[in-house]
Amino acid sequence: MNIAELKLDSLKANDNSTDHFRIILVDDHPMLRKGVAQLIELEDNLKVVAEAGSGEEAISLAIEHNPDLILLDLNMKGLSGIDTLNALKRANVSSKVIIFSVSDSESDVLRALKSGVDGYILKDSEPEELIEKINQALKGELVISSPLTQILVRSFQTESKETNLVDKLTHREFETLKYIASGKSNKMIANKLGIAESTVKVHVKNLLKKLELKTRVEAAVWAVENNISY
């Protein structure tokens, strides 16, 4: 084989390397990383370019390698998965991020999805499902392990109910609710709205009934949780 042929083969090899989607694995358990890496490497279109045992290391490697996707553990020593995700965003890392966790806690799943991850996959998923979800995420789809779909359904139903409750309020009742969430007394609300304090009391009574709450403290907490305040 002459020099020209060697150069051509080298160029072909480099071209083929661009056919892979590049992945970084982030988990503080080396054995798990090794197993997942071996599974991913069986796929012709996927390649593990780096592994990290901590969030701090993941940020450095992501900046260095600019991977297509990061498979990120949720609960790690030091920076958590969510903290790492936020740090990656601040570093302008544009890689897709999938949380890879043992936790099927509703609060963990919703917190991760609200933080902007591209998916949430359980570590006890079948190997075929993991590979399928990775490929779907690389196509721009939001992916989630099958057992977790009910969490999304419940969350959607809860948000729909809360939206419907707010729609029941009159404009004055809604304004009163926002002032309650801001810690204002009835007298202060009356001054703000230019109405009698007795009228404010009526608004408070009505909005509590419509929101299915018992006290103004509950109303304040509910409003803050739903981003309703001044």
pLDDT tens digits for the chain (230 residues)?
Answer: 444 444 434 444 444 445 899 999 999 999 999 999 999 999 999 999 999 999 999 999 999 999 999 999 999 989 999 999 999 999 999 999 999 999 988 888 888 888 889 999 999 999 999 999 999 999 998 898 888 877 666 665 555 555 677 888 999 999 999 999 888 999 999 999 999 999 999 999 999 999 988 888 888 888 887 888 77
Domain boundary among 121, 150, 179: 150
Same domain, 142 and 175: no
Q: Which domain holds residue 107?
A: 3-150
- What lies within 8 Å, CB to CB, of 107 at 6+ separation is none
Residue whose entry in the numeric block shows the structure tokens 């370019």: 49
User: Into how many domains does the chain fold?
Assistant: 2
Say whether both 49 and 139 belong to one domain. yes
Q: Do 137 and 171 fall into the same domain?
A: no
Would 31 be classed as within a structural domain?
A: yes
Indicate if 218 and 131 belong to the same structural domain: no
Burial 135-159 (b: 16+ CB within 10 A, else e): bebbeeeebbbeebeebbeeeeeee
Identify whether residues 11 and 98 lie together within a single domain. yes
Tell me if 23 sits within 8 A of 69, measured CB to CB: yes
Alpha helices (H) in the chain, listed in sequence order:
3-17, 30-41, 55-65, 81-90, 106-114, 127-138, 149-167, 171-181, 186-193, 197-210, 216-225
Write down the pTM of the prediction.
0.62
Residue 230 resides in a domain: no
Among 150, 178, 197, which residue terminates a domain? 150
Tell me which H or E stretch contains 100: strand 96-101
Domain membership flag for residue 48: yes
